[in-house]
Amino acid sequence: MPLVTTTEMFKKAYEGRYAVGAFNVNNMEIIQGIVEAARETRSPVILQVSAGARKYANASYLKKLVEAALIEAPEVDIALHLDHGDSFELCRAVIDDGFTSVMIDGSHLPYEENIALTRQVVDYAHARGVVVEAELGRLAGVEDAVKVDSKDATYTDPDQAVDFVNRTGVDSLAIAIGTSHGAYKFKGEPELDFERLKTITGKLPGFPLVLHGASTVIKEFVNMCNAYGGDIPGARGVPEDMLTEASNYGVCKINIDTDLRLAMTGAIRKHLMDHPSDFDPRKYLGVGRAAIKDMVIHKITRVLGSADKI
């Protein structure tokens, strides 16, 4: 099966009150683990590529790895998505390269400039059958090239969200209701602004919303990383039940990156500590791939609710 857009994915997710996982990919083992998990659970999946991933792995390599996944798992609905595109030029480049979905992130710009940039990308993408995600409101935290201090974070204004969607023609919208990028999401008790989410959904009925910065930072993997030489104390994520609840109110796409990093790194650290004589990359990268697969299965079956949806 060829790559698909997220249009039908999100329509089914909205009606079924579940979310599709958007998982960031950087290399072969991560792609293999994600796609095998989607295959076993019969779940649609979004493979996300950031600007940092394109720079690290080379755009051509990543595209060919995704093409291999389509061959190996033809029954899985797979969308290829640009995460946090920061310019029209980058969005145009990946659209021309065969991506089926792009995110243009103009959330750091003044409102009218965000609208103008998003509209430019939408016009180019829609003419080529590609869907567009944009962002309104700013999430705190750090992920790849995205860095926003907590003092600069802003929640999404519901009325502005309606105006933004109407004026840009965007296909989905990433909103800010309290999630954040990276492993350190909350200092106190975790809290998401569900009343704001419900208001936005009420004003944009049937329209798919997106949560960025939605890794749960599972304590087991933080502890594993730290126990085997890591130094990430106090990391906290979004509770899983909050993410599951969000899918009842129009959230059709949930981004997951940090949890994949923690699972893979923790598993590899443990393996190398337990097997110090191993120097064959296939052994420890294979362990990392298995950890990715298990994490994605957990997300699909316990958090997203997207199993058996293809």
User: 197 Cβ partners below 8 Å, 6+ apart?
Assistant: 175, 177, 209, 246, 249, 250, 251
Q: Which residues pair with 132 in a beta bridge?
A: 102
Structural domains of the chain in order of their starting residue, each with its CATH number: 7-304 (3.20.20.70)
| Residues known to be catalytic | 83
Give the integer Cα–Cα distance in Å for 254 and 186. 18
pLDDT confidence of residue 77:
98
pLDDT confidence of residue 218:
85
Query: For the segment 218-256, what is each residue's pLDDT rounded down to a tens digit?
Result: 888 899 999 999 888 877 888 999 999 999 999 999 999
Q: Token match 């016009």: residue?
A: 123
The upper half-sphere exposure of residue 214, i.e. CA atoms within 13 Å in the direction of its Cβ, equals 31
Give the integer Cα–Cα distance in Å for 22 and 34. 10
Give the integer Cα–Cα distance in Å for 124 and 15. 29
Q: Which residues pair with 123 in a beta bridge?
A: none
Query: For the segment 42-73, what is each residue's pLDDT rounded down to a tens digit?
Result: 999 999 999 999 999 999 999 999 999 999 99
Which parts of the chain register pLDDT below 50?
Answer: 141-142, 147-152
In the predicted model, what is the mean pLDDT of the chain? 92
What is the model's pTM?
Answer: 0.92
